[in-house]
Amino acid sequence: MDALDRQIIAALRENGRATYADLGRKVGLSASAVHERVGKLEATGVITGYHAVVDPSSVGLGVTALISIHPTDTADDDEVAVALGELVEVESCYRVAGDESFIVKVRVATVDELERTLGRLRRIQGVARTRTTVVLSTRFEGRPNTAGVGPDA
């Protein structure tokens, strides 16, 4: 992982569909060289995937909420995590330090559906209590943090 790799990574975080030729022009390498570098970054798990980002409301998911999940005394965190993973509306799942055991981000169509999702969450074995914070607006999300991937890092 050298400065060139970091430049390539930064470019692919900006535009995940950039062609190898594009990337090569940007960093001053041939497309082949970039291709090989990206392949290695993928193989070593540095780049884990490429995803299109979709406007949630456009696909009928206008309600976002952040939910703290408090465990029961006897909760098995791994089991809870698996159960959380089975709910498609749970988009992200973080195991955290503190009172709660997990914080999850859910996206649903309506507050009605949010209510149903909360019901499903509470029915999971090991979940004692949830605390829901409704997102009013997303200022930005998943923004590339260039602190670690800049060309001069």
Residue numbers at the binding site for DNA (CB under 7 A):
2, 4, 19-22, 24, 28-33, 35-37
Site of interaction with a second copy (CB under 8 A): 1, 6, 9, 12-17, 44-56, 58-61, 64, 66, 81, 84-85, 88-98, 100, 102-103, 107-109, 133-149, 153
- How far apart are CB 121 and DNA at their closest, in Å? 39
What are the tokens at 49? 């995937």
Burial 16-49 (b: 16+ CB within 10 A, else e): eebebeebbeebebeeebbbebbeebeeeeebee
Which of a second copy, DNA, none interacts with 107 (beta carbon under 5 to 8 A by kind)? a second copy
| Nearer residue to DNA within complex by CB, 27 or 65 | 27
